[in-house]
Structure 1
Amino acid sequence: MAITNPQQAYANNSVTTASPGELTLMLYNGCIKFIRYAEKAMKENNIEQKNINVQKAQAIIRELSITLKTDTDLGKNMLSLYEFLHERLVAANIKNDPAILKEVEEFVTEFRDTWKQVIQENRRIQQVGAGGRV
């Protein structure tokens, strides 16, 4: 089945050609996007869309948890944080509480920004190692 939508084709290509680090960054960005959609749906009292988008954010947090390497203290700590965020998303959904969504969004944004810095630093190191200039 051919993809006729150019935006969908671009998105599919972006995912299939992304490095593992870039995929993690995409997951963080997607989680933030769905949390914001859920916040908007709460404001509009659209319970169905709120639920759908909170569940999408939960699925991303679960995916981040599943793919996490937990053989280090950092990995174990991140797993605990992801479990906490998942529980907070459940609470936000049940209580219909935008403040809880905002709390989770702040955590995920911090993770995303830190991860982005790691990717940029790794690229810089690779360029130096390859004889490039910084």
Structure 2
Amino acid sequence: MHPSRALRQYQKVNSHAQISEASPHRLVQMLMEGGLDRLAQAKGALARGDIAQKGLMLGKAVDIIIGLRDGLDAEKSGDPAYVQQLDSLYAYMTNRLIEANLKNDVQIVDEVARLLITVKQGWDAIGEPQPAL
């Protein structure tokens, strides 16, 4: 087996293990990290002029943000106004990435990355929910 193929297989298995053991809080963090990774990869593809790869990576970033948005439905216990604002922000980010893809606009990708970083910093600051005693 080629070494790079073996590494990809290991990463795939390791990733599945991390996901199966992760708390819901950690899963959201992982989605946000994955979204930021895809945005960085899209920027790299744009810099190289690899339009197909740019489209693929932006599509994956959109899918991740849609997944985060869908996860808000499960967050019924939170502040409804906050959940609505976050839902609107995710919708905005999705629309901006579609525009970035159409226009090959790295500035829009950067804008969405900054927004996602801000949301992630807030999420990270919350920390894991502690079980009731």
If the TM-score is normalised by the length of the shorter chain, which range does it land in?
0.7 to 0.9
* Aligned residue number for residue 74 of structure 1: 82
Among 51, 55, 58, which residue is 1:47 paired with?
Answer: 51
Among 7, 16, 23, which residue is 1:19 paired with?
Answer: 23
Q: Distance in 1 between matches of 2:11 and 2:114?
A: 28
Asked if 1:6 is matched to 2:17, the reply is: no
Q: Distance in 2 between matches of 1:79 and 1:103?
A: 17
* Aligned residue number for residue 105 of structure 2: 97
Name the larger-Rg structure: 1
User: What letter is aligned with 1:116?
Assistant: D
Q: Distance in 2 between matches of 1:117 and 1:37?
A: 26
How far 1:114 sits from its partner (Å)? 1.1
- Segments of 5+ residues of structure 1 without an aligned counterpart are none
Asked if 1:57 is matched to 2:61, the reply is: yes
Q: Distance in 2 between matches of 1:93 and 1:6?
A: 31
Among 28, 31, 55, which residue is 2:32 paired with?
Answer: 28
User: What letter is aligned with 1:52?
Assistant: L
How far 1:25 sits from its partner (Å)? 0.3
Asked if 1:38 is matched to 2:46, the reply is: no
Q: Distance in 2 between matches of 1:7 and 1:82?
A: 28
How far 1:50 sits from its partner (Å)? 0.1
1:71-92: CA deviations, max 9, x gaps? 5111111000000000000000
Query: How many positions carry a matched residue from both structures?
Result: 122
How far 1:66 sits from its partner (Å)? 1.0
* Aligned residue number for residue 123 of structure 2: 115
How far 1:6 sits from its partner (Å)? 3.0
TM-score (norm 1): 0.84
How far 1:7 sits from its partner (Å)? 2.7
How far 1:15 sits from its partner (Å)? 0.3
- Segments of 5+ residues of structure 2 without an aligned counterpart are 1-5
